[in-house]
Structure 1
Amino acid sequence: MQTTWKASVMAFLIPISFLPSRTLAQAVPAKPAAPNIIFILTDDLGYGDLGVFFQSQRQKKGDNLPFQLTPHLDQMAATGAKFTNQYSNAPVCAPSRASFITGVNQGNASVRDNQFDKQIEDNHTIATMLKAAGYSTAAIGKWGLQGETKEEPNWPAHPSKRGFDQFFGYMRHADGHEHYPYEGLYRGKKQIWDNYTNVAEGLSKCYTTDLWTAYAKKWIVDHEQGKDAKKPFFMFLAYDAPHAVLELPTQAYPKGAGLKGGLQWTGTKGGMINTASGEIDTYVHPDYAAATYDDDQNAATPELAWPDTYKRYATANRRIDDAIGDLSQLLKDLNIADNTLVIFTSDNGPSIESYLPKGFVPFSPEFFASFGPFDGIKRDVWEGGLRMPTLASWPARIGTGKTIAAPSMLSDWMATFADAANIPAPARTDGVSLLPSLTGKGKQEAGQVYVEYKEGGRTPDFKSFEESRRGRKRDQMQMIRMGDLVGVRYQVKSADDDFEIYNVVTDPKETKNLATDPAYQKIQKEMKEKVLQGRRVDAEAPRPYDQAAVPASKVSKAISPGLSWQFFKGNFSYVVSEKGRTAEKKGASKLLNPAALTAPEGMVLYKAYFKAPQDGTYTFSLQTKGKAYVRLHEAELLDADFGYASGKEIFTTVRLKAGYHPVKIYALQKAGKANELMLKYKEEGGDWSSLSNKNLYFVK
């Protein structure tokens, strides 16, 4: 006879006595004021495109190779920090951007592969998190995660439905291929949305890099001079350059910068910004207009002029650089620079997918070595496709000229922004806070670096790339980094395929495959296990290893039946991550349930090992009166947090190897209210069983 859900719940209530009844007053040092946050994301800008990362090295070699100049970004690095080992979450824009916004890697993401314009999930985003903390929020530029609908502009995942107070920009992915929206010079007319209104008709001669910059400046000024001036703000500024059509601005960047100079929003139809005049697609930066280079590396032969294609590319990047200088000066003029955290980065490696007028030399990232000291470009999981040119500025908290070499991902910024804003990150977040690395205070937690992606093309046949990967077919790909070692798989056929293994610290170009060395067989096995333990199956992005059973973990210490628990006191509106938080109290229990009726307010985190008795398919279910979240290894198992309907039973199925599998169970509790959490499982063809000391074990 099956017991009712409530009867089962009451049987698993944890005794009140194990939870703290009061908290002793402690002297807590005042936390810094929450900063303004500006996250600047470029489109297809390579690690090697910035002076501070690679172009300055080319310039200093003295062999007359073509090089680009990025003085403002170089200055940002000199006065702040640069990340030399930060990765995008995917080697193409939509999944990379979605992972940044949601704080989850591609093993747990809902937007994967080439799912352009797919609806980003209705869950925690950086914007919803910061908005709940009192931030004003804005998204400007390229979105491409709205979900397709015939009822535009009522897209299911419009930025306003994902936490942004204001959106101004391109909604569709493909619109971002054109940088003159009104004229549609090479890719046809496009739509620019001011929240739910298409305003493209008033944007003649508006080059999008200028347009987004001018609007961003206007929004910041309006915020600082408006009714919400006391609120901190978060801005997601997503440039659509240098990707796609290599179009030129109308004129030189306006003189000056900041509040009174540089780009300005005029608000006049037909001249909406102060560069919306002159002739479109004509201005070449004077540093490149007459540039020459030694094409054959022979000093005895004449140098050649740069092809117009590369003058365009360098000008587009220089325009972004000028915009960063302009925005930086604005923050100073408004006296908010010291407590504004500014991040500059890209969404993936450099591209060959550039659209040009007829007769132009085709674009190749080889000309400037935009991929830097690596192999691979956009759509590759080699370092050149994933390593990002990331900079950070926060004068009040970050020292000058700092280099951060610890591996990280774009999905770490959600946890970082939460930490900076003095709020907890959602438990769903895969990332870790990078604040210790940025500020030099506290211990930096190691994060996850994992990428999976499918692409039908090939790695380009560039002479500068290793011969073994020139023209190499991609198909299903994976990349994982563990310490200094990176594992890469192309054309993955099964979970048993070996990784190529490279030490990317001593061998950034990935020339020596260590997988052939018997000494690396242990790490080979660990990589194969970790890529299965850190992901959940997504039917819309099928993988050849989806049906592989998740390996169990080795448990070297003595274990006992039951669960260990940690209690975190607080008035949380969502299920929070324990990372960076100190537990109020710890203990162990034989029973599973987070609270008694008189328990204090906060969150209980259970840790245990679920013992799978045999290889097979297991279905888990979760039902709660409050909010909860469950992880299995590093993968999301069950999410009853954001948008969860109280009391609804949710299910998921996974294939497991026999043995012990680590589980984390997060559950919120409100003062005086029992959460009534019920977590069950069954084997294929078997009966349901509650998770308890009969199948859960913890390390003493």
Structure 2
Amino acid sequence: MLSPLFRFLGCLILFSFCSGWAVAAPAPPRPNILFILVDDLGWGDLGVFHQNRRAREGKPAIQTPALDRMAAEGIQLCRHYAGSPVCAPSRASLFSGVHQGHARVVRDNTFDMPLEDCLTLPAMLKEAGYATALIGKWGIGGGTESGGNPGESTAFPDKRGFDYFFGHLDHIGAHRHYAADDPADRRSQTGTNVIWDMHDNITKSCTNSYSTDLFTARAKKWIVDHRKTSKNKPFFLALTFTAPHSALEVPTQAYPAGGGLKGGLQWLGKKGELINTANGVRNSYVYPQYASRNWPDGAKKHASMIARIDEAVGDLLKLLSDLNIDKNTIVVFTSDNGPHNEGSFIGPTQDPNFFESYGPFDGIKRDTWEAGIRVPAIVRWPAAISAGRVSHVPSQFHDWMATFAEAGRMPVPAKTDGVSMLPSLTGKGKQKPGVLYVEYNVKGQTPNYKNFLPEHRNAARLQQQIIYSGKYKGVRQNIRSHDDPFQIYDIEKDPKESCNLADTAEGRKYGDYFKKRVLQLRRIYDYHNSVRGCLAGRPYDSVPVPPSVVSEGASGKLEFRLLSKKACPWVPKPEAVRGYESFAVEETSGCLVPGTVSKPSFCGEWKGFLRIPETGVYTFFLETDANAGSKAFVRLHDMQLVDADFHYKPGSRASSSSAAGTTECTPETGKKGVPLAAGLHPVSIGYVHGAGASKAGIKLLWSRNGGTPEEIPVSSFSVSGKK
């Protein structure tokens, strides 16, 4: 007899809903998802990752017993990377499912810019039947910088897939841990640290409510209410704490005893007493195990903020157990970037040296050294993850979209840059290699900390870029041109990044490879805001994308694979249906649908090469048939070329504008083409054909150097050649 886990993992196909996808046999309930994201917590700040070792060595250490227990009951992801070394772009990559080379709006330090209107992680899960909620910090909602409201913010959470929102819309408001009582940041345009309950400003009711307590109590209340009203509907709850980011503030009192359904933090819902810790003295409770230590005040508060998060996680896990849903709930705990060294308006500055918040690595928030982007990550899911596991397989924030799609038995969207982490999480199979990539620009330099290598201290940041391939990492800082070399590190043997291999034979090989690769997996930033302009130009934007070194196969042909005999609500990746139906690959004349495919609706993919006749700047266009539900998605190399998927009107013309789905933009947005070098470029075209009278098929066009669009000749396509 098959084990429950094997049966669970064997049912990785979308459940039956409006698209017509169906499971072949009854499947176990889809998992709930609780994603806990904290703010500026370093890899080294958790006990199980680094602090327990410090304690054994007699050094000052932070205790995180609940998170240590969660790790013991699940899996530690020791090489998990944030989307960016700073908050907003990192969160944008998480919720949009793309790395920073494909983020259409939120790159660099573009705080409070509007996340693009795309197939977001919550929108995907909502379409699949999940109840979705965000409680905590958003910071990518658009509208007024350091302010905004539901009316003017075009990317308010309920416009990006969340059914419910409670918390801070803008990032500045989230710098304060007593929203109703702390003075607003001088940069705030609203004059207050607003807490939104959907579209209602409830800040005045939050008196004495400490942020971690407030969000935890509201999250517990939402889960309980969901179980009462929608017991058979899975949920996705993103709980995005604002701690331990500065200001360094602590709670009013000890954590309430008990935890779970009847104890711990509780939502009271009374004005001025929303939660059961909204009394006592604000910013007064330092945890006893730290209060008596001869430590700086900032260290005591930092440790207490993390201790509060730790108790909140234990409280939430107890609630899931009390509700008898813990076994089939995926709980993820991670951080948005590396540790900060920032102060606050009321007190001490956080010193990441005191606890070695950066762990055994160099760098902090805003650095592209390991500690700036490698973040602690723990996953607990008793139904599928055995206890006590540790993984060193590299992964990044955009991989969560593919992971949750597969775990929820949905096809993985073609749009995501991620791969499913389920094989690593469950220990069943081997995780497909993914794209780990960061590009980022900020003024300043790496701090001059004595624990950092001399060559890393005071290193200029500015234009930075990271790319990984297996155990090798390429990193560039203060990039002036694409000719600048990558520093190359064997990150498995040398996580401190002490031995630059760039001048070795292996290093030269990877240095050359990375220079080509970074041009083949990203898009030029092309978003303009009427107030802030274009903020993310790169020194390598105008460099033509190099072709692949391959021999050409049969000219005029592409390989077509039928992926499914049913349509899907988004264009799927081919691996989304692997193992369920096996379809032969057929050669077609260009982008024609094979005559053997006669289904009223289906999903398919063309794959091969596109021959670019001469080096230049190209703009691409795509048209599908006019049937409802028809859509397409095109990649050139690993570059997202044309998105005719989310919000696409069948039969209309979509372009390769990298600004598709963006809002609050000026007319200059989306005008840049793609610089391509002459030669063969691998192309994949995902296609969903909706049922209707219109004949299945697509039309792919291009425009060279701003000329008139014309259909790409069939002779420009070819099937795979040999390397």
TM surpasses 0.5:
yes
- Select 2:305's aligned residue among 286, 302, 316: 316
Q: CA deviation at 1:566?
A: 0.9
Matched ranges for 1:61-460 at <5 A: 61=57, 64-110=58-104, 111-149=106-144, 152-154=149-151, 155-184=153-182, 187=185, 189-226=192-229, 228-291=230-293, 305-355=294-344, 357-358=346-347, 360=348, 362-460=349-447
2:620 is equivalent to residue 620 of structure 1: yes
2:585 match: secondary structure:
strand
Shift, 1:82, TM fit: 0.6
Cα distance in 1, alignment partners of residues 178 and 709 from structure 2: 59
What percentage of aligned pairs have identical amino acids? 47
Stretch moving more, 671-680 or 363-372: 671-680
Q: 1:281 to 1:595 in 2, by over 3 A?
A: farther
Q: Is the 8 A contact 2:588 2:594 kept in 1?
A: no
TM alignment of 1:12-23, pairs within 5 A: none
Partners of 2:491 and 2:594 in 1: CA distance: 47
Query: 1:70 touches 1:318 (CA, 8 Å); kept in 2?
Result: yes
Deviates more, 1:677-686 or 1:514-523: 677-686
Structure-2 change in CA distance of 1:650 and 1:368 (3 Å): same
Deviation at 1:581, TM superposition (A): 2.2
Judging changes above 3 Å, is the alpha-carbon distance between structure 1 residues 29 and 85 closer, same or farther for their aligned structure 2 residues? farther
Matching residue's letter, 1:170: H
Give the C-alpha shift of residue 397 in structure 1. 0.5
Report the residue type matching 2:299 in the other structure: Y
Question: What secondary structure is seen at the aligned counterpart in 1 of 2:714?
Answer: coil
How far does residue 59 in structure 1 lie from its aligned partner after superposition?
A: 1.1
2:677 is aligned to: 657
Aligned partners of 1:563 and 1:693 also within 8 Å: no
Q: 1:50 aligns with which of 37, 46, 60?
A: 46
Contact 1:592 1:692 in 2 (8 A): no
Mapped partners of 1:574, 1:254: distance in 2: 45
Contact preservation (8 Å) 1:257, 1:329: yes
Q: 1:352 to 1:116 in 2, by over 3 A?
A: same
CA contact (8 A) 1:594 1:669 kept: no
Shift of 1:290: 1.1
After superposition, what is the alpha-carbon deviation per residue over 1:94-140, rounded to whole angstroms, capped at 9, x for unaligned? 00001000100001112100010000000101111111111111000
CA distance in 2, matches of 1:158, 1:405: 36
Deviations 1:451-472 (A, max 9, x none): 0000111100101111012111
- Give yes or no for contact 1:456–1:475 (8 Å, CA) kept in 2: yes
CA contact (8 A) 1:183 1:189 kept: no
Query: Contact 2:335 / 2:376 at 8 angstroms: preserved in 1?
Result: yes
1:651 Cα offset (Å): 2.7
DSSP-derived class of the 1:523 partner: helix
Following superposition, the deviation at residue 185 of structure 1 comes to 5.1
Q: TM-score when scaled to structure 1?
A: 0.91
One-letter identity of the residue aligned with 1:627: K
Q: For structure 1, which segment, 572-581 or 127-136, has the greater mean C-alpha deviation from structure 2 after superposition?
A: 572-581
In structure 2, what residue type is equivalent to 1:197? D
| Cα separation, 1, equivalents of 2:350 and 2:618 | 50
Unaligned runs of 5+ in 1: 1-25, 292-304
Larger deviation: 327-336 or 632-641? 632-641
Name which one, 1 or 2, has greater alpha-carbon Rg: 1
Cα deviations by residue, 1:391-420 (Å, 9 ceiling, x for unpaired): 000011100111111110011001100001
Question: Can you list the C-alpha shifts for 1:557-577, whole angstroms capped at 9, x where unaligned?
Answer: 745431001111123112122
C-alpha distance in structure 2 between counterparts of 1:176 and 1:182, whole Å:
12
Alignment pair present for 1:684 and 2:699: no
Whether contact under 8 Å (1:81, 1:402) holds in the other structure is yes
* Corresponding residue SS for 2:479: coil
1:573 to 554, 569, 572: 569
Change over 3 Å in CA distance of 1:57–1:559 after alignment to 2:
farther
What is the CA distance between 1:595 and its match in structure 2? 7.1
From 469, 478, 486, the counterpart of 2:456: 469
Cα deviation, residue 599, structure 1: 3.1
**Alignment partner, residue 637 of structure 1:** 641
Q: 2:689 aligns with which of 653, 662, 669?
A: 669
**Structure 1 residues 218 and 685, CA gap change in structure 2 (3 angstroms):** closer
Shift in Å at residue 317 of structure 1?
A: 0.5
Query: Which residue of 2 is the match for residue 587 of structure 1?
Result: 586
Shift of residue 594 of structure 1? 4.0
CA contact (8 A) 2:437 2:466 kept: yes
Q: State the 1:250 CA deviation.
A: 0.1
1:696 paired residue number = 717
Letter in 1 for 2:81: Y
Tell me the distance in 2 between the aligned counterparts of 1:564 and 1:534.
Answer: 22
In structure 1, C-alpha distance between the alignment counterparts of 2:124 and 2:165, rounded to whole Å: 17
Residue in structure 1 matched with residue 599 of structure 2 by the alignment: 599
Aligned residue pairs, count: 657
User: C-alpha distance in 2, partners of 1:234/1:325?
Assistant: 19
**Inter-partner Cα distance in structure 2 for 1:471 and 1:82:** 32
1:9-29 CA distance string (max 9 Å, x none): xxxxxxxxxxxxxxxxx9956
Alpha-carbon distance change, 337 to 646 in structure 1, aligned in 2, over 3 angstroms: same
**Equivalent residue of 2:301, what SS?**
helix
Tell me if structure 1 keeps the 8 A contact 2:586–2:594.
Answer: no
- Helix, strand or coil: the match of 1:336? coil
The whole-number CA distance in structure 1 between the counterparts of 2:562 and 2:322 is: 45
C-alpha distance in structure 1 between counterparts of 2:247 and 2:64, whole Å: 21
Per-residue deviation at 1:685? Answer: 6.4
Q: CA deviation at 1:535?
A: 0.1
Corresponding position of 1:17? none
Of 609-618 and 508-517, deviating more is 609-618
How far apart, in 1, do the equivalents of 2:472 and 2:353 lie?
Answer: 26
Alpha-carbon distance in structure 2 between the residues aligned to 1:591 and 1:500 = 41
